[in-house]
Structure 1
Amino acid sequence: MHRRHRRIAGITAAATLLLAAGCGGDDETTVTATTSPTVAASTTATADAPAVAPYIDIVSGTVDIDEVAEQTGQDDYTLAFLLADTAGTCTATWGGSKALDDSTVQAEIAKIAALDGDVIVSTGGATGTYLESVCTADELAAAYSSALDAAGSNALDVDIEQTVTAATVTQALRTLQTDRGTAITLTVPVGGTVLGLTDTSIALLQSAADAGLDVTVNAMTMNFTEENDDWGASMTTATEAVVADVKSVWTTLSDAEAYQMLGVTPMIGVNDTGPITETADAQTLLDYAEEKGLGFVRFWSVNRDNGGCTTGEVEATCSGIAQETYEFTKMFADFTN
């Protein structure tokens, strides 16, 4: 596959420096969701991340990574999910059950590396105990860093679908980005075609902006109400609402910069709340993403990218619709920004 990377730069380095200068350049940073702290620009360049990195349940072992690469050319992935352990302590695990150095998970990561693929470590998700809920900011930064090292990565996806303290998360991310220049994506739910992001998600983005973080925003275009029996159009309309939300937080962004800061992630096949992402709907979203110049695309998940079940039910290992194996992966792999 032609390797396409993008600079993760929700706020440019120049803008970060300007913010720091405007606040006096003090290195002491106190992060809250409602006040602008004094921040200093990181001396470490922010890492790159792949433009196309679909999610994969790295714990399940239900995807043949070599086969996917052979059939689609896809070799970059977002690994889901980093969680606290089963005891609910601040111990980073894969899926809440496997240690960072677990041999089966490491074997899967090694396959990606052998393909010259890149990985993004994703934390959080829909279920499980969040590290973000049980760790202090310092502990969280250390947990993130350990997981990135274990995966041979410097790109982090923070998927927040539960209630967390925004300041804890953004303070940890500030430490991580300052210390190692990590590429950071904030993945947040979309509430609807008009609503865009929820108030809770906007508060998280505002906290990130106040902390001077260099981030991108990943809109989860899934699980909201379909309009006019056109799910593809519903996803693009909702994304436009998210663009407006992003510009309400980072007020100096141009339209082009806001689009470049944004990525989209649909749920292929049957969504949890009823909508169905057919291949035509995914193509509508991909065409929109290319036309607008979105920074990246992902989808949930490669594990589901097959027609192994056509019952219309939500399953972890199949899409619930009639489709060819890896049909969505092939479509997304062709995305260019």
Structure 2
Amino acid sequence: MSKVRKCLLGCAAVAGALTIGAVPALSAETPAPASNTAASPVAASPYLYNGWGNPPKPGEVMSATGIKDFTLAFILSDGSCNPAWDGTRPLDADKAVIDEIRAGGGDVVPSIGGWAGNKLGEFCQDPQALAGAYQKVIDAHGLKAIDIDIEASEFETPAVQDRVLEALKIVKEANPGLQTVVTFPTLNTGPNDAGKRMVSRANEIGSNVDVWTQMPFNFGGSDMAADTINATEGLKEVLKSTFGYRDAEAYAHAGISSMNGKTDAGETVDQAAFQKMADYAEEKGLGRFTFWSLNRDRPCGGGGADSCSGIDQQPWEFTKIVAGFQG
């Protein structure tokens, strides 16, 4: 997901197992049906950050790649329990971009959170207030889905995790058909202790999250395709043991959000590795396959890390791969 998404200010997504206490006992919950995410903007929607670097025009990218949907970053707190793009721009600031995407037959998913900035989960003091902030974003754009990118202290603090999960339960109940995605850091073996706790608490609370999406990078990987697949298999096993899913159900509730090109930790996700991830995601029927970020999906020409991938490529190669994902 500066980080202003995935740690482009030099921070890394959590790279070691966190010790946030033992995972609570699991409840016996009836397995939920697998989500039909392939028909929603959740499944294949690369991250586009309109407040960062030199953002591309989505209509041009749609024409060049066949991509339809986009995840728009980032909704933050404006210093209170009130949502704003980047914490500073009003919710209608990106209306023209959203209208352009919808006019082309696509749709958008806002990403609420990220690594840097003020997080709504911390500035809203109870689940009802946080749900109200999420609802403002939903209402502003008539949304079908939201992505909660939970990282850093939001992710590492049990009370904040609970607040986010309870708020998601409230908005799911208030908005029938709304899909919810939770995006979070991972180890190369799957969720760390904080991630396992979060999934377990979601089961206990009844949050009904549609897709749990891991960010499999910044953990010192050497074979990024193999490490990503291994991490996702670990997530699948956590979802199975927590919710009682069968394999196919667990995969449908799991997702991958990679980082194209050079990661903040110096790893390399090249086109071949990313295609292997996509093939795996398609084979297993994952609920989501995406990457950070569309802004970076182009060759470097002297620009910063916010405007290119850091590897040899043609424009939009990673986006074209995501466009081929059917879930």
Equivalent pairs, count: 289
C-alpha distance 310-236 of structure 1, shift in aligned 2 (>3 A): farther
List alignment gaps of at least 5 residues for structure 1: 1-32, 40-44
Partner of 1:98: 89
Tell me which of 253, 257, 262 is aligned to 1:270.
Answer: 262
Provide the TM-score with structure 1 as the length reference.
Answer: 0.80
Structure 1 residue aligned with 2:197:
203
Q: Deviations over 1:34-88 (max 9, x none)?
A: 478999xxxxx99962321111113236111111011001120111111001xx2
Larger Rg: 1
Matched, 1:124 2:124: no
* Residue 108 (structure 1) aligns with: 97
Secondary structure (helix, strand or coil) at the match of 1:263 reads: strand
By relative contact order (CA 8 Å, sep 6+), the higher-ranking structure is 2
* Residue 80 of structure 2: aligned partner: 89
State the AA in 2 paired with 1:82.
Answer: I
Report the Cα offset of residue 151 of structure 1.
2.4
Separation (CA, whole Å) in 1 of partners of 2:27 and 2:320: 44
Once superposed, what is the RMSD of the aligned Cα atoms? 2.3
5 Å matches for 1:286-301?
286-301=278-293
1:248 aligned to which of 232, 241, 246: 241
TM norm structure 2: 0.83
Alignment partner of 2:150 out of 148, 157, 160 = 160
**1:325 aligned residue:** 315
1:110 alignment partner AA: D
Q: Give 5+ residue unaligned stretches, structure 2.
A: 1-22, 30-34, 155-159
Provide the rounded CA distance (Å) in 1 between the counterparts of 2:200 and 2:65: 38
Q: 1:68 aligned to 2:68?
A: no
1:310–1:319 contact (8 Å) kept in structure 2: no
Q: Which amino acid aligns with 1:319?
A: S
Percent identity for Structure 1 against Structure 2: 36
Q: Secondary structure at the match of 1:59?
A: coil
Query: Contact 1:46/1:177 (CA < 8 Å) preserved in 2?
Result: no
Determine if the alignment matches structure 1 residue 170 to structure 2 residue 165.
yes
Residues in 1 aligned to 2:232 and 2:28: alpha-carbon distance in whole angstroms? 32
AA of the residue aligned to 1:140: L
SS in 1 for 2:292: coil
